[in-house]
A = this chain, B = another copy of it.
């Protein structure tokens, strides 16, 4: 390339970096022409190697099949585009081993920063980042012992919003349903927030039903429990039981099961409300609390970017508010199907 333009590589480099003020018009044109002729593309890897920054930003997600993740991703992509980063998306597929492997990999590829929607509480998995001096920002979940910026949903506020809505609708029995929550901070917070929201309104909260989608036995047990609760409330002759589900994947499992159990009219038996607003919620009229997913992703990138640029200081926490999306599922009188 250097000699194709009849010049030294220095000038080519200058051209690539847009230092036009330092190039004679003639030379500039010769280089331009040569680039066209050779279809020349500078090698980003080499550039990165030389100047120590490659504009790569890692995005490590736990579960791509969760619509939440995809939505966050969109915010991340938009921000990366705006700030000039190339997002490197890695999918751990809910496997801690994958997560570990990707952290290693991203470290060796020297990404400049990393956004982590971590699987769980394994601080050890993220430790290589520290060693490599790679700034990280957590999304949705904290990791014990790992001090980093966090951006996510204001879980307390969101749950309170849902509880208030259900009470306003006149439901007197509310059952909270959540995945095993000890290891995942956002689930833990939602479970706690539910108890507190109920208590604050003078209602005792039944213990949460815990449903682990990765464990058939646990799932079955949880679904049976839910069925029993629905039955009990039904026999008591009160309103339908309201099911407050902590996130969309679980809500889907519950809804699927209720449908098998009670048929197409299952919503006459139980009212469903879920955090997350997946595409099917609108389709069957489920009230949800929508997370500001796009903003979460965008903000996360802004945070890593600041850290990359050298901002120091204590870990920051940004909790964005959710929005209640009212649909038919929580209206307490269901109109008969015409």
Mark A residues whose CB is within 8 Å of B. Answer: 39, 41-46, 48-49, 54, 64-65, 70, 73-74, 77, 86, 88-89, 91, 93, 104-105, 107-110, 128, 131-132, 252, 255-256, 259, 262-265, 279-280, 282-285, 335, 337-338
Contacts and interface: CB of A to CB of B under 8 A. Distances in A.
A256 B282 CA distance: 7
A64 B54 contact: no
Contacts of A256: 282-283
Contacts of A77: 91, 93
Given A280-B280, A282-B256, A110 B45 contact: yes
B264 A108 contact: no
Contact of A263 (B43, B64, B338): B338
Contacts of A39: 128, 131-132
Given A45-B110, A104-B41, A108-B44, A338 B265 contact: yes
A60 to B, nearest CB: 12
Given A70-B70, A91-B77, A279-B252, A107 B41 contact: yes
A283 B285 contact: no
A264 B279 contact: no
